[in-house]
């Protein structure tokens, strides 16, 4: 497939695809007779995986390290696994931090909802007014 179709199917721009190729995240594409890039459809799986790594905050230098190990092939599985294990640990810590932030946001939103409910109830129910009988005063201590 040509770079335009790959861009459409992967969600990456043609510029990003060329950049990823230039820095080594994507293998260089085969070229057709006109010297235009011609990608195999299997590259979509790799691009999707790179997108997951990026979405979870893996730095490009680690993505490049993983890509280089992948390119070397068998014999690098333990190193690739270790790299992914370390990243997973960071992702789990980040998810836990986000969960804690979400709890704070939920509590804050609930507080506003309770305040709105109290104000709505206060506005709709007039307080009962009690009048003191005319001339009634409290007794003073002597």
CB under 8 Å to 62, separation ≥6 — which residues?
Answer: 53, 83, 87
Residue 87 lies in a domain: no
Give the rounded percent of residues in the chain with a pLDDT score beyond 90. Answer: 67
Range with lowest mean pLDDT among 63-67, 79-83, 120-124: 120-124
Residue 122 lies in a domain: no
| Closest to 25 in 3D by CA, of 57, 51, 56, 3 | 51
How many structural domains does the chain have? Answer: 1
Residue 117 lies in a domain: no
Higher pLDDT, 32 or 139: 32
At 115-128, the pLDDT tens digits run 777 777 766 666 66
Residue 9 lies in a domain: yes
The pTM score is 0.72
Residue 65 lies in a domain: no
Q: How many helices (H) and strands (E) does the chain have?
A: 5, 2
At 5-52, the pLDDT tens digits run 999 999 999 999 999 999 999 998 888 888 888 999 999 999 999 999
Residue 39 lies in a domain: yes
């Amino acid at each position: 497939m040509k770079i335009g179709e790959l861009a459409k199917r992967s969600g990456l721009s043609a510029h990003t695809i060329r950049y990823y190729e230039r820095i080594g995240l994507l293998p260089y594409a085969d070229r057709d007779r006109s010297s235009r890039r011609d990608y195999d459809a299997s590259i979509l799986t790799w691009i999707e995986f790179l997108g997951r790594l990026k979405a979870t905050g893996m730095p490009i230098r680690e993505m490049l390290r993983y890509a280089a190990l992948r390119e070397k092939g068998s014999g690098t599985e333990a190193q690739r696994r270790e790299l992914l294990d370390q990243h997973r640990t960071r992702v789990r810590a980040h998810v836990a931090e986000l969960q804690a932030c979400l709890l704070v946001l939920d509590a804050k939103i609930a507080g506003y909802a309770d305040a709105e409910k109290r104000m709505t109830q206060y506005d709709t129910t007039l307080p009962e007014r009690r009048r003191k009988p005319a001339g009634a005063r409290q007794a003073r201590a002597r």
